[in-house]
Amino acid sequence: MGTFIREGNRIIWQMAGERLMIEPWGANSLRVRSRMMGEILDSDFALLPVDTQPVRIDVNEHEAVIANGKIKAVIKEEGWSRKCQISFYNNKGELLLREIGQNGALNLQSRRFKPIIGGDYRLTVSFESNENEKLYGMGQYQQEIMNIKNCSFELAHRNSQASIPFVLSSLGYGFLWHNPAIGRVSFSKNKTEWYAESTKQMDYWITAGDTPDEIVESYADVTGKVPMMPEYGLGFWQCKLRYYNQEQLLEVAREYKRRNLPIDVIVCDFFHWPKMGDFRFDEEFFPDPEAMVAELKEMGIELMVSVWPQIDLQSENYDEMYRKGYLVKPEMGVNISMLFGGYSNFFDAMNPEARKYVWEKCKKNYYDYGIKIFWLDEAEPEFSVYDFDNYRYYLGPNVQIGNMYPQLYSRTFYEGMKAEGQQNIINLVRCAWVGSQRYGALVWSGDIHSSYEDFRKQICAGLHMGLCGIPWWTTDIGGFHGGDPENEDFRKLLVRWFQYGTFSPVMRLHGDRKPMTKLYRKDGSPNLFTGGNNEVWSFGEETYEILKKYMNIREKIRPYTRELMRQAHEKGTPVMRTMFYEFPDDETCWELKDQYMFGSDLLIAPIVYENMTSRKVYLPKGAVWTNLHDGKQYEGGQFVLVDAPLDVIPVFSKNERRSEWIGII
């Protein structure tokens, strides 16, 4: 049979070339790794080093037990099969999760390493499925689903898709697939199955907790927490595709100030550069960026500048970066990975020298002018064709390591800014993986469409992201693609989205509005187009008055939002929270997908269907609730029908804090 070895706080099992290791990794948590034909690797893709506390380990000839606080793993050999099966229990002896085992004569494999001839392994890890459990997390997928039981997911990033392989179970555990390989997972009725297209070893982390907040905070302890949100992150951010010259951008900022509207950040979007990969302003359109930043700062406004990781083949930096090996390399075909705005390739964020090179360019041409926020677009990265097996990074092939890219892209700027002495770093980024949060990543949900369906999907996406350790999250208010400021239906959608944005972690107005305008340089050559107007006064007087109302509400709740950001920084707590996060004992709260808690005090129920002027809201048990728009009070544990004319988003507070909120919303 196999061999059990106790090595300090670890259990190791060996058989037929497989080496399996289980060890404590944080409070109430275990890390499980297995490798075929080799020593276990100390991969640090996302998990942070932790202090090891004494654990209970019992070993006999055919079984071993390791217990760490509220979690226990039992490793049992399976008779003649020369295999072992792992089962996880909480401290009450209740089964949380179990590998499928051999299943009698089926002779199945819980951990199937299928060799790639001449290389590493395709890996499938299979667990039994409890049909009564509910599952949440996995990052940002464009679907209107909260309980993801019986769903399957591609483990890969795309524009508007951020794959973060952490799942929280209603049974009282959290599970992290600590593997950045391209793959898939299925939470099926008959089994749960994780698959990696190419990997060197199996690596996952599991924790047990009595409540969702305990599980999420344990996960944050081992993957990292966001910095403290800077003050300018708490207010309103103005953006559009795109302010294409210095005077246009400044005039918009001046108009916000003339109207006495609260604004903290204004954004200079993409293609303000001569060529993609130049990492600098185009002097024809931005003749004095240092003066531009200075004037904005005098108005109390921070400038955020877009940076793309693509390097145009005509960029002034391309030859040097190509020569030094700082670019992602296609395995086959020409050295091009994106076609938008020119032929380009991505810089290799997995190469520390490439990260240093890009930061030094951005420091010289942006940061030294006083720009302290970057918009890290295209962070998946967005290959023109998602052939995930056709790219290779410094750390290995994309199929084996690719999902780490957005984390290391954020790290590029975070470490550069930190080295300059900046505190409370935040950068907007279009994708994330496990651990991105500790590099100041504010994730937004990508190039979504201007529709009520997409709006509903964003609510689910933001709640799942919060459970996955990404408390800084936002959307393009109004959606990105489409949206005509002259269209009355779009104006109403924008109002409803803007109200939701008021009670999101970051409130940011953005979009590619109609009509599009073609642009040209002085020499007559084409420049990238710009979209239509997207300022709060661009949608008619009635809409403007409502948007202004909610901008001022955002300002009034700034002290509360600041406290939520402190909780996120210190404990990893989501800012937007699923209803069950705050009320885990109320079964109805585990089913809700279109309302949420903004912190522990405010219940938010967005209007997410066209022409809706009332909606049902569930008020959880254990509290008395006040409708902050009309002052009516309700006992918890019931659905109530509330009015929601165009200028109203239903917001409720728990009665014990009622006096603090009346008159603010």
Catalytic residues, which ones? 377, 380, 447
Of the candidates 110, 88, 107, the residue with the CA atom closest to the CA atom of residue 172: 88
Q: Answer whether 406's CB lies under 8 Å from 437's CB.
A: no
CA 606, 611, 612, 613 torsion-angle sign: positive
Compute the distance between CA of residue 636 and CA of residue 37 in angstroms, rounded to an integer.
Answer: 58
Contact 461, 594 (CB under 8 A): no
Work out the number of other CB atoms within 10 angstroms of the CB of residue 645: 9
CB 243 within 8 A of CB 517: no
**636: which 2 tokens?**
């918890």
Helix, strand, or coil (residue 12):
strand
Question: Helix, strand or coil for residue 602?
Answer: strand
Q: Could you tell me which residues are beta bridge partners of residue 499?
A: none
Q: Which has the closest alpha carbon to 24: 1, 59, 56?
A: 56
Q: 592 in helix, strand or coil?
A: coil
- Tell me which residue of 353, 292, 298, 290 sits closest to 320, measured CA to CA: 353
Stated as kind and residue range, the H or E segment containing 137 is strand 135-140
Q: Beta partners for 338?
A: 344
CB 194 within 8 A of CB 124: yes
The strand pair at 265-268 and 236-238 is best described as: parallel
| CA–CA separation, 571 and 588 (whole Å) | 26
Residue 543 to residue 339: CA distance in whole angstroms: 38
Half-sphere exposure of 15 (CA within 13 A, CB side): 16
Q: How far apart are CA 455 and CA 500, in angstroms?
A: 10
Q: What is the chain's alpha carbon radius of gyration, rounded to the nearest angstrom? A: 26
What is the rounded distance in angstroms from the CA atom of residue 299 to the CA atom of residue 293?
Answer: 10
Within 10 angstroms of residue 234's Cβ, the number of other Cβ atoms is: 21
Neighbours of 114 (CB within 10 A): 10
DSSP code string of 493-538: HHHHHHHHHHTSSSEEE--BPSSPEEEE-TTS-EEEEE----STTT
Q: Which residues contact 623 (CB under 8 A, 6 or more apart)?
A: 636, 654, 655, 656
Please choose, from the candidates 233, 624, 585, the residue with its C-alpha nearest in 3D space to the C-alpha of residue 444.
233
